[in-house]
Structure 1
Amino acid sequence: MKIYHFPQGGLKLEDATVPPADTSTIAFLPTYALISLTQHPGKEALPLVDTGAFVQEGMLIGRGQGMGSANIHASIPGQVVKIVSWKLADGRTTQGVLIRLEGSFEKLGKKKDNYNWQGLSSFDLLRIISEKGIVEMEEPGKPFIDIIRDATGQSKKVTLVVRMIFDDPWLVADYVLAQERLDEILIGSAITSKASNASTIVFVISNDEIELAERITSRSKDLGIQVTVIITGSRYPQRNKRELETVLKQYQKNESIDLGSYCICNPATLAAVYDAVVQNKPILERYVAVGGGAIKHPQVLRVRIGTRIGDLISQCGGFLIQPKKIATGSPLKGMIIQDLDEPITKTTIAIVALTEEQIGGETMNDCTNCGECRSVCPVRLDPEYLYKLALLGRDSEALLHKAHSCHGCGCCEVVCPSRLPLSSTIRVSIKRGAQQAL
């Protein structure tokens, strides 16, 4: 068995505070759901409902506005209490529709009628994917229709690439989903393959998940779906687009084949495609990992979109101790939240309540020139030098030393004994340098 991996740097990540990876638990239905109209990188969805209106489960309440924007649907039935606005963790301001739970559910607990998608054209499938608001189910939440169009616009030959690499422990929710909904993911891959006219479906899996790779091979044969499985290394950030494309190019060279352009997606997105096309259902819920050293009973929960983060923490027993920080997503690349009333969105993969011990306190020390950051950088940069240039405001010089190659994986920050914010500072410098060049 050949294992493909990127050539330099990276880390083997472990975290004992992640939830168990054995099963998911259905979260309590929210009494109030706050549905953000910005769950994607583009323009805020245009609100289609007003205060006092009654909505049904799955009803369209926000219409996407062009590239980068996606439709938004009600995750629960009920009455619109108000339209509110707040600042997102990334600095953008958004509106949200606050719905009070009332009435009966259209989807929950009802018998599921499966639609025969095989008779639909690629145009019809793309229309459904767009109408149901399917996005990349992690930050930044790029609309899946845009991802497909990007791939098909690059080359006549397209390969659908499914990232089943769990190099970050906080991807545990996607791992549990892959275990529980593997058939739906496989069928979702077949639907996406037809929608994008992909010639090949490739599942990329790390060598830590050989049993899952064997299940994919077996179930795909049972379902009559032809897939290729590629085994990679498990060092973080193997799942990142750049490192993933590195191993795909190695595979093409080794097998003397041409995969064309890549349409890269994750298992949660394909499960959402299945729900949209086969079940006629938009994204109403998602798997979310809730854990960290401050959480009493870490769990993977199946959560309705719009549920308060505080409600999920309560379902996990609340706090053992007062957390120092709470992040949405992995501690390496996630966003710090300021308010437990913030809602779950389509892109929320995890809620992590970190203790002071986990973050190592707030004290930073001077650089010791140890070189650890250079040894783990997967793109052969010198984070120490770029960091110092950034502090001096020499952003143009940093760009000349290939700072733009940094993709913010955070490996350098993990190993830095002085606890310097290397990666995040370099990323800020890149943005400043790009603005200065305009």
Structure 2
Amino acid sequence: MSKVYSFPRGGISFDDPTVPSRNSSVTAFLPGLSVIPLVQHAGGRAYPIVSIGENVKEGMLVGRGQGMGSANIHATVPGRVIKMVSWKMADGKTNDALVIRMEGSFEKLGKKEDVYPWQGMLPYDLQRIIAEFGVVEMEGLGRPVSDIIASLRNESESITLVVRCVFDDPWLAADYVLCNERLKAVVEGSRIIARTVRASRIIYAVSHREKELGERFLAEAGNWDPPSFLALVGDRYPQRNRRELELVLRSYGKQEGLELGSLFILGPATLAAVHDAIKLKKPILDRYVAVGGSAVKKPQVMKVRIGSRIGEVFSQCGGFVDKPMRIASGSPLIGKAVADLDEPVVKTSYAIFAILEAQKAPSPSGCCISCGECRNVCPVGLDPEELYKRTRSSSGLKENPSQDVLSSRAAECHGCGCCEVVCPSRLPLSSAITSSALRGN
């Protein structure tokens, strides 16, 4: 029996019957109108290099990344740029997008793909192509992968590439389906990244319930350099968070006698995108998305073109059974509200959901009952109750005599949301604490 590595305290285990099946994916219809945002990454807006009225080809560069954190943006369908639109995102920032009406023939879709050898390429050339095709982390903030590679270029320690296949949230169904349907691409993408950063090893960190998937990864990796290993980890949320995952991998490395050095952690969707950029010379044109929630008639994992409007994606799942009370992108645990169904699917959209009134969490009561549940589930060992009360006091963290201690503790919160899930008063504990920590910096 293989050992399972889990973080020692806190966290939650949960299920959601409104998540789509993980059996397979369905290819979504091509959008007649595509909304291509100029911000699909962690940094600033890409600079548009096409004009309204101009014809574009599938995969053509339409926005050039500017500076650290910014990434190139490509047209995902052939057609004509008919206008530019702007809207406010959930974080209050404004995003601009090119609207493309689909016209003409496709360069990639339905065509035999040319395969390019990469084994003899230098690391700098691999990094350049990854940047050219706008590959970002397909989750979280969407950090450009080339930027992360650059930050590791002068690393004095050895580098371990970690392929994160940790399914601690049922809404990661799209990643699971991608792993099964594009396993070879994920493995080859990991080998490409390992070559680019000169990693000494690859570790497939896989939830212990998916041991068979992990063994398939190892079988596909074979005896290629660098050597590959399988680490079975827990599936209690938030095991996939960097802090919790690094904690268990350090324990794994010690147990196996491996000096892991610096950890470079990437998810399967990102590695498949690296494969496509290097081996197929193809930017991110589509991605796997879990579409579901109690308001959706037919939840399913879909392969969706970037730029498809969220409303159209729901329509292809049969529409709504009734008027949804909440629509958001991401997991219900930490999802971001969708203000308009014309908002598009972007590179980091791994799930979208719509829920009915019955599934919606009750409104905050505004009164903490001091039950202590938030302390029990905090994986960092914080006291969310105490920190929340301090953030809501008239003086707040900044003016309190013990502000330095409190602010430093608040900064340890990584926003997993466990405390909010278990709070019977439904107080915005995690979001209030992280906001206060940011104000204190």
- The alignment's TM-score, normalised by the length of structure 2, stands at 0.96
- CA distance in structure 1 between the partners assigned to 2:385 and 2:248 by the alignment: 27
- CA distance in structure 1 between the partners assigned to 2:272 and 2:91 by the alignment: 27
- CA distance in structure 2 between the partners assigned to 1:375 and 1:206 by the alignment: 23
> What pairs up with 1:104-115 in 2 under 5 angstroms?
104-115=105-116
% identical equivalent positions: 55
> What pairs up with 1:113-262 in 2 under 5 angstroms?
113-221=114-222, 226-262=227-263
Stretch moving more, 244-253 or 102-111: 244-253
Stretch moving more, 72-81 or 148-157: 148-157
Matched, 1:345 2:329: no
Deviation string, structure 1 residues 359-392 (Cα, Å, up to 9, x no partner): 2232425211111100000000000111101111
8 A contact 1:386–1:398 mirrored in 2: no
Structure 2 residue identity aligned to 1:417:
P
Aligned residue in 2 for 1:61: 62
Deviation for aligned residue 1:88: 1.6
Deviation string, structure 1 residues 260-303 (Cα, Å, up to 9, x no partner): 11111000000000000111100000001110011000011101
Stretch moving more, 11-20 or 364-373: 364-373
Stretch moving more, 348-357 or 371-380: 348-357
Aligned residue in 1 for 2:417: 410
Deviation for aligned residue 1:258: 1.2
Deviation string, structure 1 residues 330-383 (Cα, Å, up to 9, x no partner): 111111011000011000011110222222232425211111100000000000
Matched, 1:429 2:431: no
Stretch moving more, 10-19 or 147-156: 147-156
Structure 2 residue identity aligned to 1:248:
L
8 A contact 1:159–1:259 mirrored in 2: yes
Structure 1: segments with no counterpart, 5+ residues: none
Deviation for aligned residue 1:149: 2.3
> What pairs up with 1:10-49 in 2 under 5 angstroms?
10-49=11-50
Deviation for aligned residue 1:3: 1.2
When residues 156 and 224 of structure 1 are mapped into structure 2, their CA distance, relative to the original with a 3 A threshold, is closer
Structure 2 residue identity aligned to 1:345:
V
Deviation string, structure 1 residues 389-409 (Cα, Å, up to 9, x no partner): 111152234651311100000
Deviation for aligned residue 1:167: 0.3
RMSD: 1.3
- CA distance in structure 2 between the partners assigned to 1:273 and 1:399 by the alignment: 42
Deviation for aligned residue 1:245: 0.8
Deviation for aligned residue 1:169: 0.7
The alignment covers a number of residue pairs equal to: 434
Matched, 1:369 2:370: yes
- CA distance in structure 2 between the partners assigned to 1:204 and 1:78 by the alignment: 41
Deviation for aligned residue 1:222: 7.8
Question: What SS class does the counterpart of residue 149 from structure 2 fall into?
Answer: helix
Structure 2 residue identity aligned to 1:313:
F
- CA distance in structure 1 between the partners assigned to 2:189 and 2:431 by the alignment: 35
- CA distance in structure 1 between the partners assigned to 2:320 and 2:410 by the alignment: 39
Question: What SS class does the counterpart of residue 130 from structure 2 fall into?
Answer: helix
Matched, 1:331 2:336: no
Structure 1 residue identity aligned to 2:437:
I
8 A contact 2:364–2:427 mirrored in 1: no
Deviation for aligned residue 1:223: 7.1
Question: What SS class does the counterpart of residue 381 from structure 1 fall into?
Answer: coil
Deviation for aligned residue 1:215: 1.2
Pick from 393, 396, 405 the counterpart of residue 394 of structure 1: 396
Question: What SS class does the counterpart of residue 82 from structure 1 fall into?
Answer: strand
Aligned residue in 2 for 1:385: 386
- CA distance in structure 1 between the partners assigned to 2:171 and 2:404 by the alignment: 31
Aligned residue in 1 for 2:356: 355
8 A contact 1:50–1:83 mirrored in 2: no
Deviation string, structure 1 residues 9-50 (Cα, Å, up to 9, x no partner): 001121110000000000000000010000111110000000
Aligned residue in 2 for 1:75: 76
8 A contact 1:152–1:158 mirrored in 2: no
8 A contact 1:399–1:430 mirrored in 2: no
Deviation string, structure 1 residues 64-97 (Cα, Å, up to 9, x no partner): 0011000000000000001121112221112111
Question: What SS class does the counterpart of residue 186 from structure 2 fall into?
Answer: helix
Stretch moving more, 79-88 or 307-316: 79-88
Stretch moving more, 207-216 or 239-248: 207-216
- CA distance in structure 2 between the partners assigned to 1:59 and 1:159 by the alignment: 34
Question: What SS class does the counterpart of residue 240 from structure 2 fall into?
Answer: coil
When residues 420 and 86 of structure 1 are mapped into structure 2, their CA distance, relative to the original with a 3 A threshold, is same
Aligned residue in 2 for 1:89: 90
